[in-house]
Homo-oligomer: A and B are copies of this chain.
Amino acid sequence: MRLVIADCQVDYIGRLTAHLPTATRLILVKADGSVSIHNDDRAYKPLNWMSPPCKLSEAPFEDGAATWTVTGKDGGQLVISISNVLHDSSHELGVDPGLQKDGVEAHLQELLAEHPETLGEGWTLVRREYPTAIGPVDLLCRDASGGAIAVEIKRRGEIDGVEQLTRYLELMNRDPLLAPVRGVFAAQEIKPQAKVLAGDRGITCITVDYDALRGMDDPSLRLF
């Protein structure tokens, strides 16, 4: 990893065209060849960048001034004109063991698939990722009387999710083997607008308690 602090001017021609007037910035060159240009605000998004794989060629001038041309695999180019280098250092970082995450939508779906009864009494799971022509429904369940229920699961329930479920329901209700199919929108948190839209479409909203579900899933609590 190479860190350069310098006055620079940057032009990008690729998926769009962009220009960055001269100013002092951080130029970050990673071991994978990627280059990113950071200013002193915005937590993580650079002003300009080139994703790997890409190739960096340097054309040095006097006084440490140089033009760097970074060419991406799609032919996009990032041209960096460096005029005044304040800092330049390289560092060996080695391989990173990687990040471990917990608490995403996949896990929520997993837990609800294991415990469909938390959505409604007597409900059973038919299958996860039930396929339709426009994509898979998160869960297909049956209620105590055998009626089909399509369940859409989100971490945060917003309008998009209700739209998505509406599309699935429209299609599934054309299938005589399934119809009538009810819709359930399950999320850790459901925005008021999403609730209103769901109500208007006859879709039931269920707010899911992730911690409680995770507790049910705790192996130490399993007695069977």
Contacts and interface: CB of A to CB of B under 8 A. Distances in A.
In the complex, the count of this chain's copies comes to 2
Contact of A87 (B39, B89, B94, B96): B89
B41 A52 contact: yes
B94 A24 contact: yes
Interface in A112-147: 133-135
Given A97-B23, A103-B16, A103-B17, A44 B40 contact: no
A3 B24 CA distance: 15
A32 interface: yes
Given A5-B91, A51-B43, A16 B101 contact: yes
Contacts of A95: 23
Interface in A32-63: 32, 34-36, 38-52
B25 A36 contact: no
A5 B87 CA distance: 14
Residue among A24, A41, A52 with the highest chain B CB neighbour number at 10 A: A41
A95 to B, nearest CB: 8
Contacts of A49: 43-44
A19 interface: yes
